Structure 1
Amino acid sequence: MSAIDSLPPLRSVIAAHGLTAKKSMGQNFLLDLNLTAKIARQAGDLAGSDVLEVGPGPGGLTRGLLAEGARRVLAVEKDGRCLPALAEIAEIYPGRLEVVQADALEIDPLAHLTPPIRIVANLPYNVGTELLTRWLDPGHWPPVWESLTLMFQREVAQRIVAQPGSKAYGRLAVLAQWRCDARIVMDLPAEAFTPPPKVRSAVVHLTARAEPRYPAEPKILLPLVAKAFGQRRKMLRAALRGHAPDLEDRLAAAGIAPTERAEQVSLERFCALARELAR
């Protein structure tokens, strides 16, 4: 394994600071610095960007981001045990790493960053999907961030890029693909982590679109999609009952058969239905 900076290998850092991964925090540490640097490169040219990292742990990905030229990294870490290890990284990259001890679900770290902003993280398993949905629905579009490069359980990654007709296709796919170009850029085996999780992981790269892929009001589209997939085994005329008094006419106008189920309906047709319901 080649060195990316003058700091010790991550196994030595973990041993020195007693950083046993905690299951309660969804922690699985990625120790191969070649892999963390490769993940950082998937985010594109970082030289002119501020980067938000959530859950840096002992700092493997943090080191990769800084070594790949990130202008500045804001690392949000809930686990106070990791702060001394992250402070050591800050010392060799003066002025380029800020560490905030906080729960990423409870603060707005983007307010502390200067555009252009990229978000790159090996997200803790227990908060990853919640953070993603918040970033994809910030209340205004385009968002302050340009791209998301995020590691998830592979099952979650597949749900983000899934297409209609597949079992993985659902609310998360519609939300992500409506406003972003999304693709899986890396697969990682369980053995790459300490401790090894019971599932494989994957890195997804999402690039924010200037405008959503199809026109629709988010206040109509997003609750509509949530309701449709909340009862995905039901036909849409049943799953969306009460959404409009003339629901079947609205479905037909959007090119959707009332007997179809949510997993059969494309993003384009969901947006068409949202426009019909907005009338």
Structure 2
Amino acid sequence: MTAIDGLPPLRDVIARHDLRAKKQLGQNFLLDLNLTARIARAAGDLTQCDVIEVGPGPGGLTRGLLAEGARHVLAIEKDARAIPALQEIAAAYPGRLTIIHGDALQIDPLAHVTPPVRIAANLPYNIGTELLVGWLTPPAWPPFWQSLTLMFQREVAQRIVAR
């Protein structure tokens, strides 16, 4: 699939903004819009939910979440190079995408979302485990999120499930 919306294919966006995944930021870009739409559908009915996405990069999953009807997406991105690509998505979905440039470990997402909240993300390699542990061990239960739909790089997933 080259388009799930009226925006250009991700490869074109990445080339135009000269984006390359940076190992030091733990980045791994999802380029297949069929896959990102499938991941967004796995998060369930998003039409009545705000969705938190950490590390959206050029916005492949972001586009999937919005195209699948997410009420609102909060995209937290540390890499300033990706912000212009995300702003293009925000322009295509007026009022439905908020972009925060910053470190997801330092930002309180609850100040920017309205319940019910779901989390859907292709997590950066270097903070994925820390975010997951934080989300699964909140000070009070039930947590603020309704569901977690998370992708990890293989090495992180193997470490999470290791004995």
Q: Which residue of 1 aligns with 2:105?
A: 105
Which protein has greater RCO, CA pairs closer than 8 Å, 6+ apart? 2
What fraction of aligned residue pairs are identical, expressed as a percent?
75
Give structure 1 regions of 4+ aligned residues with deviation exceeding 4 angstroms.
none
* CA deviation vs aligned residue, 1:55-101 (integer Å, no higher than 9, x gap): 00000000000000000000000011111100000011000000000
* CA deviation vs aligned residue, 1:142-195 (integer Å, no higher than 9, x gap): 0110111000123543565x5xxxxx23xxxxxxxxxxxxxxxxxxxxxxxxxx
Distance in 2, matches of 1:101 and 1:62, equals: 15
Structure 1 unpaired stretches of 5+: 163-167, 170-279
Q: Which residue of 1 aligns with 2:38?
A: 38
1:42 Cα deviation after fit: 0.7
Which TM-score applies when normalising by structure 1? Answer: 0.57
Please tell me whether the aligned partners of residues 122 and 151 of structure 1 are also in contact (alpha carbons under 8 angstroms): yes
Distance in 2, matches of 1:90 and 1:37, equals: 17
Q: Which residue of 2 aligns with 1:121?
A: 121
Distance in 2, matches of 1:91 and 1:156, equals: 34
1:20 Cα deviation after fit: 1.2
1:28 Cα deviation after fit: 1.2
What is the DSSP-based 3-state SS (H/G/I as helix, E as strand, rest coil) of the residue aligned with 1:30? coil
Which TM-score applies when normalising by structure 2? Answer: 0.96
Residue-pair matches, total: 163
Please tell me whether the aligned partners of residues 33 and 60 of structure 2 are also in contact (alpha carbons under 8 angstroms): yes
* CA deviation vs aligned residue, 1:113-161 (integer Å, no higher than 9, x gap): 111000000000000000000111110000110111000123543565x
Please tell me whether the aligned partners of residues 125 and 156 of structure 2 are also in contact (alpha carbons under 8 angstroms): no
* CA deviation vs aligned residue, 1:199-240 (integer Å, no higher than 9, x gap): xxxxxxxxxxxxxxxxxxxxxxxxxxxxxxxxxxxxxxxxxx
What is the DSSP-based 3-state SS (H/G/I as helix, E as strand, rest coil) of the residue aligned with 1:56? coil
Pair 6,45 (structure 1): closer, same or farther in 2 beyond 3 Å: same
Asked whether 1:72 is paired with 2:61, we answer: no
Q: Which residue of 1 aligns with 2:10?
A: 10
Please tell me whether the aligned partners of residues 52 and 110 of structure 1 are also in contact (alpha carbons under 8 angstroms): no
Distance in 2, matches of 1:54 and 1:40, equals: 14
* CA deviation vs aligned residue, 1:31-75 (integer Å, no higher than 9, x gap): 000100101111111010000000000000000000000000000
Distance in 2, matches of 1:155 and 1:83, equals: 27
What is the DSSP-based 3-state SS (H/G/I as helix, E as strand, rest coil) of the residue aligned with 1:63? helix
Specify the structure having the higher radius of gyration (Cα). 1
Distance in 1, matches of 2:154 and 2:41, equals: 20
Q: Which residue of 2 aligns with 1:26?
A: 26
CA RMSD of aligned residues (A): 1.2
Aligned pairs for 1:146-161 within 5 A? 146-157=146-157, 160=160
